[in-house]
Structure 1
């Protein structure tokens, strides 16, 4: 059976609808950085997501090619994730989406190193006829965070975030946003298929002891 990160790491991908403190380990991602409204049709964000999935599925299906990745095991492609910020704002301002800066990312297994990533970029470029030069392999270590499962439209996240911040403060923590620690969302639902009120999104914010 294929390894499923969502099932194996439920504390990271299946939190409850009540806030909780979590220590997030270091993870490896393929990622694209950009800016602008994520809802723009054929915009930078939608193009970034398309590029990520092209590389992600090239890696996942590598075992059906002549390319052998040492340590490879079959796995389910993890969900799309996003790290978001706006200059001069701690957190996010949903009313001004055009000012968003983001890193769109998909987690990859530990056997994806620089060499395997380079192979995937070359293979996906040849097959999909896409410019994938803006896709990068990165390592992220979020550390201590407060997180919660948000159910509903993305624009309704502020209510969930308020609960997260109140809970963190009650536990003796304060927010710790920085250039390396951002507002983080993990998308467990496909917005093209699920109704807005049914969308499931993990929302995560960096914190530190007050």
Structure 2
């Protein structure tokens, strides 16, 4: 329940209101991505078998949901944004063609609205820590991501089918449009892997770029 006297506005769903979450299927789109703030945790290794990856998500989600409920109580409700990830390897062929997941580095992230301050994040993290927290809880940091001009597309299907899409993005579309890669590969997960079949998974693939 909201505090007495507080008026709760309509719930904001950033997937529907932010243009940077929009991408076509089967085509590439050049977009301008504004700076965004995230709860973030770094890690390394295969997300399918790494306890480090599972622990990272177990730390991020409780904080994100407590922040959402605190904001709702203060009169501003929103849908917790989708999970996002930055992915890279020392040799990017391990990511695009070889798909050697043991060599991957990652940063997993959940976006936080502009009106939520550092003090609220710190207080919420402390509250989560009073329960049975993930071992990585206190590795959470607030990160501002500045991507600017980016190329993105919507991939529908298993994660392991992304390689061919990324090859076309990196080797064909980006150079053909006078661009070059300038930042870290970014994914936004619109589907819940626990509930959606692999062939129906919806993932936004983004690559920051600059003019060549």
TM-score by shorter chain over 0.5 = yes
Against the structure 1 CA distance between its residues 25 and 31, is the aligned structure 2 distance closer, same or farther, given a 3 Å change threshold? same
Q: CA deviation at 1:88?
A: 3.3
Counterpart for residue 20 of structure 2: 12
Matched, 1:171 2:173: no
Find the aligned partners of 1:183 and 1:193 in 2 and give their Cα distance. Answer: 25
| Correspondence 1:1-150 to 2 at 5 A | 1-9=10-18, 11-17=19-25, 18-40=27-49, 43-63=51-71, 73-89=76-92, 92-93=95-96, 95-131=99-135, 132-150=137-155
Q: CA deviation at 1:64?
A: 6.7
Counterpart for residue 190 of structure 1: 192
Against the structure 1 CA distance between its residues 59 and 104, is the aligned structure 2 distance closer, same or farther, given a 3 Å change threshold? same
Find the aligned partners of 1:144 and 1:64 in 2 and give their Cα distance. Answer: 32
Q: CA deviation at 1:95?
A: 2.6
TM-score, length-normalised on structure 1? 0.88
Find the aligned partners of 1:64 and 1:162 in 2 and give their Cα distance. Answer: 42
Find the aligned partners of 2:54 and 2:155 in 1 and give their Cα distance. Answer: 22
Q: CA deviation at 1:23?
A: 1.1
Displacement over 4 Å in runs of 4+: none
Counterpart for residue 4 of structure 2: none
Between stretches 86-95 and 104-113, larger displacement belongs to 86-95
Find the aligned partners of 1:99 and 1:170 in 2 and give their Cα distance. Answer: 29
Find the aligned partners of 2:29 and 2:190 in 1 and give their Cα distance. Answer: 18
Against the structure 1 CA distance between its residues 63 and 208, is the aligned structure 2 distance closer, same or farther, given a 3 Å change threshold? closer
Against the structure 1 CA distance between its residues 64 and 144, is the aligned structure 2 distance closer, same or farther, given a 3 Å change threshold? closer
Q: Number of aligned residue pairs: give it.
A: 199
Task: Give the alignment's Cα RMSD to 1 decimal.
Answer: 1.8
Against the structure 1 CA distance between its residues 6 and 63, is the aligned structure 2 distance closer, same or farther, given a 3 Å change threshold? closer
Q: Is the 8 A contact 1:91 1:183 kept in 2?
A: no
Q: Secondary structure at the match of 2:196?
A: coil
Against the structure 1 CA distance between its residues 111 and 158, is the aligned structure 2 distance closer, same or farther, given a 3 Å change threshold? same
Q: Secondary structure at the match of 1:106?
A: strand
TM-score, length-normalised on structure 2? 0.87
Q: CA deviation at 1:63?
A: 4.8
Q: Is the 8 A contact 1:84 1:183 kept in 2?
A: yes
